[in-house]
Amino acid sequence: MSDIIKKPVNYKKILIKIVLIICGVFCYSFGLKWFIYPASILPAGFTGLSLLMQKLVYNSTGTLIPITVYNIAWNIVPAILSYKFVGKKFTIISFVILFLFNFIADAVPTINLTSDPFVASIFGGILCGFGASLWFRCGVSGGGTDFVAMTLSSKYHIQSFGMIMGFNIVLILIQGILFGWDVAFYSIIYQYVSTQAINIFYRHYEARTIFIITTKPDEVASAMIQNTGHSSTRFNGIGSYSKNEKSMLYTVVTKPEVRQIIHIIKRCDKDAFINVVQSNEVQGNFKYLSVEQDEIDINY
């Protein structure tokens, strides 16, 4: 008999994800339209590239083309590559978010809440970083350089952080040359703050070490492998109080998988003792959660 747990469709979880994504899009849009755009700060990624192109075309021809047109155009080819190499669900939902973001961003009025570009870069970075972290928690993205990063990682196993950083640096240099270095420096502050905000609010890819004391190690280990792909190391011992023979299973999983793992363990051995601790660094053959996996526990 198979140990694979077939879960029914969780409509509550789907609804929560939809609400989080919409809230994330609004937060990101508010950050841009109320702080970043009024201060002429350049966002990172394809949104920044689109804003830069909009400024250049307007200064050259006097024609103001909506930023949505540029943003969608820059995303077409990366989205096709992501669809082919990363996954259909991830790409389709991310592209829907991209359309939703551009629609809401165009609808939200531009309000200059502060005349201080430093304050704008700080609060705009916090809002945009928090908004992006909400849709990251749901296993999707807002497109742009995320498509490029995921494609390089999935197809070629290339860490793209350096290339994306280089891309953003080039954008800032162009902005500094064309529009002044003060604004370019504020753009650096904004990008740093937004990145730190994402690191604070989005921690799903942190690792957790799980110690499992059980009298049914074979059943527990088999169920974990079949349901999550995570293996474990087994140690045999004797309980100090009960004097009974027990086994300890040692495994490392990603943070969103912890509750699923606990559910699997308790299904096999309701009396199992489980200890979950934070892992600061993991090296070796470790299975990270796929972007196409829909088992992220948004409540953990």
Domain-by-domain residue ranges, the chain? 11-201, 207-279
- Rounded to whole angstroms, the Cα distance separating 156 from 163 reads 14
pLDDT at 151: 66
Distance of CA 165 to the CA centre of its chain: 17
| Residue carrying the six token digits 């820059």 | 74
Query: Any idea which architecture 207-279 has in CATH?
Result: 2-Layer Sandwich (3.30)
Per mean pLDDT, which range of 23-27, 46-50, 267-271 is the poorest? Answer: 46-50
And the tokens for 254?
């990603």
Phi/psi of residue 24, nearest 5 degrees: -65, -40
* Whether residue 294 has pLDDT greater than 80: no
pLDDT at 205: 64
- ∠ CA 104-109-111 to the nearest 5 degrees? 130
* Whether residue 168 has pLDDT greater than 60: yes
The residues that bridge with 277 in the sheet, in sequence order, are 209
> pLDDT-based confidence at 298, cuts 50/70/90?
very low
Over the stretch 197-254, which tens digit does the pLDDT of each residue have? 887 887 666 788 999 999 999 999 999 988 888 889 999 988 888 888 899 999 998 8
* Whether residue 183 has pLDDT greater than 80: yes
The stretch 281-292 carries a mean pLDDT of 65
And the tokens for 261?
């793992």
Phi/psi of residue 67, nearest 5 degrees: -60, -25
pLDDT at 2: 46
Over the stretch 69-121, which tens digit does the pLDDT of each residue have? 888 888 888 888 778 777 787 788 888 888 888 888 888 888 889 989 999 99
- Rounded to whole angstroms, the Cα distance separating 72 from 94 reads 12
Q: How many CB atoms lie within 10 A of CB 274?
A: 16
pLDDT at 194: 86
Q: What is the value of pTM for the model shown?
A: 0.71
pLDDT at 26: 92
